Amino acid sequence: MDSFTEDLWAMVLARLPIKISTGFKLVCKQWKSIVESPFFKNLFISAHQKSHSSTWSLMSRFYVDPEIVGHYQCDTWGLDRSLGSFIKSFLADKQQKYKYQQVSVEAYSDVGLILIHVASSDRVIYVANPVSRECVEILIHDPLPTGFGTYEYSFLWQWGLVTRTVNGVLLGYKVILIDKLLRDTKLNCLIYSSETGLWSLETLHLPHSLFIRHPGYPISLNGSLHWLGMSTEHHKVVLSIDFYTTSTGSVQCRVTPFPDLEKITMFTRFCTPFQGFLMYMNIVSVTKVDGSLDNKLCVWRLMSEGYWQLMSETSPAFTLTDNFDYLPVTVNPFDAKTAYLWSMKQERLLSFDVYNGKLVIHNQCEGSGDGRTVIPVNDPRAMIFFKRLLERVSVVGENYFIPFVLPQWLHRIPKR
């Protein structure tokens, strides 16, 4: 083995999971140099590109463990337990450090980082990777928005976390605190930049007047945050804010109406991330010439130019049932043809193929080809909580779930 060249070592090490490779740098200087090289990173991604899935979980904004649905034990990361367990243990350590002050996950990013807030007088937040346990502590300095630090702030302000990645390298992140109370077309934000280490208070100007009431977690993608909102004409829209725009040097806001506003839909509108895009799925009813309805399962993705591109349109058999009792949960972030539904009648999680409509009923910790499906049927408290949240989703359209996805590479948190 002493005769191995660096390129041979790189070929061997690149076929092992990311979680194992993090310890290679401790073996010797040669291995450290190999693992930190751009050549090794490209080789690793190439070696694992045939693995169509990675580790991910659908997290609740109020409940960390167990997850609603998740996949782990995948080749890319090689984890032997779910993301919820990593997050739960990480939060427990922080609670012990701050003498059991309330510690909560406030935001998830698209590069595997989370934002943690500590409810203490220190006003401490953390940007962390719960798997590698890498963590950066940030103190919230002035200027503080009105009402921040009080009990009511959590109902008036919302956290977000965005990142800047160039050529697959994480160069920076921004922590966002957004005022939920829209004032006509003005939106106040408190922004921390890792590149400057400073906070700034900014007022964003939206292109249209919007109404956002108790929004769910924003989805973080490519330096932008995306929310579901409602226009003054009571149309459901997606509000997208790009915090790394370079065209004008300031934050850019965009409002995109959903593509099926003039049609009858079966699902509560929701969006999910998929490989850098924001995806939207719904069952649309189209009236035929004879007056009957033709149900089409449609999947769109939001393009950077601000329009929805139709990705697929099918007529699966389950959409024709008279007792339609399904609620959308999420789309697999690494497999666009697989979506998840919740059956209110069966009280079970179902996955289905968006092309042929084939349904699969899942049981707790059911193994699959690319990971493990987890639903909290063995935890009565979690099941009751999950059902209540889904009822709110079906009645008022509020989304309380967010996919947390580990990328194909372990990004180190930038430090100043």
- Domain spans in the chain, listed from the N-terminal domain onward: 1-50, 51-405
Q: Which amino acid is at 330?
A: T
Q: How far is CA 359 from the centre of its chain?
A: 24
Please, which residues have CB within 8 angstroms of residue 30's CB and are 6 or more apart in sequence? 6, 9
User: pTM higher than 0.95, yes or no?
Assistant: no
**Residue showing tokens 């058999």:** 317
How far apart CA 147 and CA 152 sit, in angstroms, is 7
Helix (H, G, I), strand (E, B) or coil at 13: helix
**Residues 117-125: contacts with CB under 8 Å, at least 24 apart:** 117/159, 118/94, 122/98, 123/149, 124/98, 125/175
pLDDT tens across the length of the chain (416 residues):
667 787 888 888 888 888 877 777 778 888 888 888 888 888 888 888 766 567 888 887 665 555 677 787 777 888 888 888 888 888 888 877 766 567 788 899 999 999 988 776 557 889 999 988 899 999 876 555 555 544 444 456 788 999 998 887 899 999 998 876 665 677 788 899 999 998 888 888 877 666 654 455 789 999 999 988 777 677 788 888 999 886 554 568 888 999 998 888 888 788 888 888 999 988 888 777 777 777 888 889 999 888 999 988 887 776 666 566 777 788 888 887 888 887 777 777 788 888 777 887 776 555 544 445 565 555 566 666 666 666 666 555 556 677 888 888 888 898 76
CA-based nearest residue to 207, from 275, 241, 255: 255
pLDDT value at residue 175: 94
Strand partners, 46: none
Instruction: Tell me the CATH architecture of domain 51-405.
Output: 7 Propeller (2.130)
